[in-house]
Amino acid sequence: MARRDRPVSQRQAWWLLAAALGAFLPLTPHLPLWLALGSGSVMLLRGWITYRQWHLPPRWLLALLVIAGTAAVGFEYRTVFGRVPGVALLGIFIALKLLELRAARDALAVVLLCYFLVLAQFMFTQTIATALVAILTIVLTTATLAAAADDRPAPQLLLRRSGLMLAQALPFMVLLFILFPRVQGPLWGLPQDRITATTGLSDSMAPGSIAELSQSDAIAFRVKFSGPVPAQSQLYWRGPVMSRFDGRNWRATRSMGTQSTPPYPLTGASVDYELTLEPHGKPWLFALEHPDAVPANSQFSDDLQLLSREVVRNRTRYSLRSYPDTQLLFKDTATNLREALALPRDGNPRIRAAAAEWKTRHGDDATAIVAAAEDFFGRQLLAYTLTPPMVLDDVIDGFLFETKRGFCEHFASAFAFSLRAAGVPARVVTGYQGGELNAVDGYLVIRQYDAHAWTEAWLPERGWVRIDPTAISAPRRIADHFVAAVPAGEALPFLARANMSWLRDLRNRFDAVANGWNQWVLGYTPQRQREFLQSLGLEAPDWQQMTAVLAVLSGAVLLVLTAWILYQRKQIDPVRRAWLNFTRRLAKRGVQWHDWEGPQDFARRASLALPTHAASIQAITESYSRLRYAPQATPADLSHLKNQIRQFHP
């Protein structure tokens, strides 16, 4: 019988089922419930068939199940191509492959599918937890591969052997990782599925849209400052700029622009920092107001927003220098100014009347009109809240004169509307304000609940000026943190509550570890590789130099491993080494020797298990006992023992 046609034993079937479950279960959160339950049930059925030793189902039935499963995936995703549909198909195939597990070649196919499903985990997440689960699954799958060849050794021996082999391969993995870093972009260039969604700021803003983010503690980005962290009131992280207003929604124009340097003079003290942006599925970048240049592959838009030339689908790191005290004093285009004055033809009559009164009183003095608007907002006694009430019609009037309760987008939208109604160009800027310093690693962490909106007004003598109307009614939101401005009794994000300080400290420690993983493992980009190689004296290595370095370092690792193996071998005296060789041969026949077991006891147990070899086992054991315990053992006795073991083939 050919080796590949050798039937699969019951123990091998259990090993293969365990490996398949270990590879499939981590993927179930990313798959439809029906598929996870269906494939899981098929695997459990295979376990019951193995336990009861029933016959496997006919191949024609499996063929029908494959067709049905493929059709179901196509119906679920409207395609069978792509990341998620492909993984879903593999989940179905590995479950059905277990039902036709008859020969060694079927076992090899299951093992290869397990390895690929382990890789598929990194197509969804690349966290530390994912890596740890993948390592455990690889150890189990490698032990299964060994069991598929010979299932007689004990499970713990196969797992230990698998772990040792993978540990020996670890130095080579590190070398390959350092010399050939991960490719930037989706894993191996796989496109992101259209159904994949990300959270964060949008290119439009309606009443309540930013308030929804206030309950999310997901990280938007992290910042590492070269010097002291600026005051909280200076931490305005500029994002989408919105100039179009239809009476309810503000929208960004998202014009790319062609500028890589700002059109305004930079003044005041500079702040240097490195920003690590989490993927959000949009083209904009975030920066502390106001940067002196743009990151690579990005530009300033016409409204001074940083836009990447590609959608941010991967964690992105860039360094910037900003000047927070800079005034946006430059000559803006007439088109932008006209757009910043546009209002719907009707709606919100009360704030329009108030703005008309400011215009009558101050004429074309934009500075005085802005001061009048600030005074008006201060006298309205507006309240900052995470749960603003819904207003269906005339949302600006409803907020200012009726509910008087709103989140930052209500303040920014109402202030920009009132200035436009008074003839002053204004627009809404969204982004994030503030952040929380993680004392463990020194990074400032900006989360989704730090999302914020403010207003920019055009003053002819000063250019675009930031005015944050939220600070008029809730100054603690800007000076401290949004939690400080929320009225008592309102629902806060779980970890932002005052009585959760110990849990926040624990979260900060986990965040610091995760950030280190992101920065030094996932963030080991070609740029960081070049910097590392330059520190070693390799300024611009080509593929020939890289191959030579890899060969030399791999050779060094092999020498170290060889020396370690030889050293371990020398620690065992020749008599014990011969005995271990003998016990390994018996272990292959299912007779495992234990360290606590004496040679004579082991020989009696082995003779009972293998009666046809009882005489040889007893003879070898007596030779070993004489060498180990007799006072007059000679080198000839050792040679005789080795010959006995060499001729022993159980």
Three state DSSP letters for 325-342: CCCECCCCCHHHHHHCCC
Residue 487 confidence class, pLDDT cut points 50, 70, 90: low
Question: In the prediction, which pLDDT does 194 show?
Answer: 42
Question: In the prediction, which pLDDT does 485 show?
Answer: 63
What is the rounded average pLDDT of the residues 364-388? 91
- Between CA 411 and CA 477 the distance in angstroms is 13
What is the rounded average pLDDT of the residues 208-230? 86
Q: What is the overall mean pLDDT for the chain? A: 86
Statement: residue 123 has pLDDT above 60: yes
Neighbours of 109 (CB within 10 A): 17
User: Active-site residue among 114, 280, 408, 410?
Assistant: 408
> Which residues touch 39 (CB under 8 Å, ≥6 apart)?
24, 91, 92, 94, 95
What is the rounded average pLDDT of the residues 622-641? 80
Residue 490 confidence class, pLDDT cut points 50, 70, 90: low
Token pair recorded at residue 156: 């713990």
Q: What is the pLDDT of residues 8-35, one digit of tens each?
A: 899 999 999 999 999 999 999 999 999 9
User: Active-site residue among 290, 410, 452, 481?
Assistant: 452
b/e map 206-224, b = 16+ CB within 10 Å: ebbbbbebbeebebbbbbb
pTM: 0.69
What is the rounded average pLDDT of the residues 275-304? 90
Following DSSP, what letter does each residue of 619-632 receive, concatenated? HHHHHHHHHHH-TT
Neighbours of 393 (CB within 10 A): 10
- Between CA 200 and CA 446 the distance in angstroms is 12
Question: In the prediction, which pLDDT does 571 show?
Answer: 62
DSSP annotation of 284 reads B
Integer angstrom CA distances of residue 153 from 147, 158, 168, 466: 8, 7, 21, 73
The more confident residue out of 174 and 428 is 428
Q: What is the pLDDT of residues 437-482, one digit of tens each?
A: 988 888 999 999 899 999 999 998 888 999 999 999 888 888 777 6
For 338, phi then psi, to 5°, come to: -65, -40
User: Active-site residue among 302, 450, 468, 511?
Assistant: 468
- Between CA 514 and CA 320 the distance in angstroms is 23
What distance lies between CA 269 and its chain's CA centroid?
35
Question: In the prediction, which pLDDT does 334 show?
Answer: 87
DSSP annotation of 413 reads H
Token pair recorded at residue 396: 């600006």
Residue 189 confidence class, pLDDT cut points 50, 70, 90: very low
Length of the chain in residues, anyone? 650
Gap between the terminal Cα atoms of the chain: 21
Question: In the prediction, which pLDDT does 238 show?
Answer: 94
> Which residues touch 566 (CB under 8 Å, ≥6 apart)?
none
Is 408 catalytic? The answer is: yes
- Between CA 70 and CA 92 the distance in angstroms is 8
What distance lies between CA 420 and its chain's CA centroid?
43
Residue 255 confidence class, pLDDT cut points 50, 70, 90: low
Is 468 catalytic? The answer is: yes
Question: In the prediction, which pLDDT does 188 show?
Answer: 44
The identity of residue 135, as a single letter, is I
Is 325 catalytic? The answer is: no
Q: Is 358 left (phi over 0), alpha (psi -120 to 50) or beta?
A: alpha
For 499, phi then psi, to 5°, come to: -85, 10
The more confident residue out of 211 and 254 is 211
Q: What is the pLDDT of residues 535-582, one digit of tens each?
A: 777 777 777 777 787 888 888 888 888 887 777 665 667 888 888 889
| 8 Å CB contact between 237 and 446 | yes
Integer angstrom CA distances of residue 327 from 51, 238, 242, 464, 466: 76, 14, 19, 7, 9
Statement: residue 330 has pLDDT above 50: yes
- Between CA 436 and CA 232 the distance in angstroms is 9
DSSP annotation of 400 reads I
| 8 Å CB contact between 427 and 472 | no
Q: What is the pLDDT of residues 496-547, one digit of tens each?
A: 655 566 677 787 788 888 888 877 777 777 777 777 777 777 777 777 777 7
Question: In the prediction, which pLDDT does 396 show?
Answer: 93
> Which residues touch 544 (CB under 8 Å, ≥6 apart)?
none
Residue found under tokens 């986990």 = 510
Question: In the prediction, which pLDDT does 196 show?
Answer: 42
